């Protein structure tokens, strides 16, 4: 494809877990930390699809080349320019945040990819992507995407209080972590509020935006909510621990799944990795950022995290450190056990 940067051979959908992200403006470091968390903990091979402004492309290439080969061999990547296949590119670019609307076009651009996990740049994986990837197998025959609720409690949720457009369910859904079966999305006729018959995904996007542009606040996320309001049978809903945000703890703990299982995917929206409003989120971000790749995970990641968390116990989110640490501890134990077993197995062969 024109402008597409290729690395290694074309990924096979079967062998690869496909991860897409859209990076514009000052999101280079955040995106790299997200990719780092994906590589640190995942088991199967990863294929990264990075959509970035032209100025960021050489930066991504330079930084990814600096990673040690023991990690770079676990993934391959493509870098794509920002493109919008229908409607006015400038309008799409201005929707909510620069380039965020790009995610709406992934089914159209990545024609040879069957399934994909899209995440925002401010996401951190605290367990292997393999675990969320397995959810694709849980889709029923009509489901083609999965997202988590925007809120757990309707009376304090944003959509239930303020939305001036249709939205999914009782609290809407958050699009920061979105698992997609692109093959199904491309072949489905979607019910809509514009014409009595169905429209394909690509046909629907621009008219939908035109119809609702004066009523939406959160850009592409609102458009996705509108789509799944009219097509609820197409959506699989993740529990909140797969898209855990400050909202889940800053007003008191309201994500039961995270209390039971720990946070699986952390989503530091509202810029919380870069200010002091939510020190627990910032602590996780900084520890993964500063982790030297080849070091021991417990020594250089888990223990620094524990000590940083001690400084956050005065905050609402900091009162529940086990919620943030449970999954990451479990994941590290598994990584450690696998390495020990592999090492012992290698030694026993001689």
Q: How many domains does the chain have?
A: 2
With bands split at pLDDT 50, 70 and 90, how would you rate the model's confidence at 337?
confident
Spell 142-155 as b/e; 16+ CB within 10 A means b: ebbbbbbbbbbeee
pLDDT for 117: 98
Q: Are residues 280 and 254 in the same domain?
A: yes
**Are residues 177 and 44 part of one domain?**
yes
Interatomic CA distance for residues 333 and 327, integer angstroms: 10
Asked if 265 and 38 touch (Cβ cutoff 8 Å), the reply is no
Query: In this model, does residue 162 exceed pLDDT 90?
Result: no
Selection from 267, 252, 213, 190 nearest residue 96 by Cα: 213
Summarised one tens digit per residue, pLDDT across range 47-96 is 999 999 999 999 999 999 999 999 999 999 999 999 888 888 888 877 75
Whole-number pLDDT of residue 211 = 94
Of the candidates 211, 238, 265, which is a domain's last residue? 238
Q: Which of 238, 255, 288 is the last residue of a domain?
A: 238
Domain boundary among 203, 219, 238: 238
Residue 14's pLDDT is what?
A: 53
Mean pLDDT, range 301-323, rounded to an integer: 93
Which among 81-85, 210-214, 285-289, 295-299 has the top mean pLDDT?
A: 285-289
The domain spanning residue 41 has which CATH number? Answer: 3.90.550.10
Q: Determine the structural domain holding residue 341 and report its residue range.
A: 241-347
């Amino acid at each position: 494809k024109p402008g597409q940067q290729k690395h290694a051979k074309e990924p096979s959908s079967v062998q690869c877990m496909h991860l897409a992200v859209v990076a514009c403006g000052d999101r280079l470091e955040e995106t790299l930390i997200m990719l780092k968390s994906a590589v640190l903990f995942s088991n199967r091979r990863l294929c990264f699809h990075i959509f970035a402004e032209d100025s960021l492309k050489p930066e991504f290439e330079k930084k990814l080349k600096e990673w040690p080969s023991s990690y770079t061999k676990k993934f391959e990547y493509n870098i794509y320019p920002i493109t919008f296949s229908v409607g006015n590119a400038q309008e799409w670019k201005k929707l909510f945040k620069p380039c965020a609307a790009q995610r709406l076009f992934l089914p159209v651009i990545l024609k040879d990819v069957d399934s994909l996990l899209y995440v925002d740049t401010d996401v951190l994986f605290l367990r292997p992507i393999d675990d969320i990837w397995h959810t694709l197998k849980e889709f029923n025959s009509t489901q083609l995407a999965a997202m988590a609720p925007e809120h757990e409690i309707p009376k304090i949720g944003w959509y239930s209080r303020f939305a001036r457009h249709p939205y999914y369910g009782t609290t809407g859904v958050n699009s920061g972590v979105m698992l997609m079966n692109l093959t199904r999305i491309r072949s489905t006729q979607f019910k809509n509020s514009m014409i009595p018959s169905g429209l394909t995904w690509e046909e629907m996007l621009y008219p939908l935006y035109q119809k609702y542009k004066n009523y939406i606040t959160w850009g592409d996320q609102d458009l996705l909510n509108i789509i799944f309001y009219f097509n609820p049978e197409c959506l699989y809903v993740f529990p909140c621990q797969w898209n855990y945000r400050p909202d889940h703890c800053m007003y008191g703990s309201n994500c039961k799944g995270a209390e039971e299982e720990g946070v699986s995917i952390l989503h530091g929206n509202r810029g919380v990795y870069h200010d002091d409003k939510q020190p627990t989120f910032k602590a996780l971000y900084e520890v993964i950022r500063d982790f030297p790749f080849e070091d021991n995970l417990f020594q250089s990641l888990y223990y620094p995290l524990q000590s940083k968390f001690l400084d956050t116990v005065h905050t609402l989110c900091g009162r529940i450190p086990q919620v943030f640490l449970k999954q990451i501890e479990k994941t590290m134990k598994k990584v450690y056990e696998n390495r020990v077993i592999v090492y012992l197995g290698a030694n026993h062969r001689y």
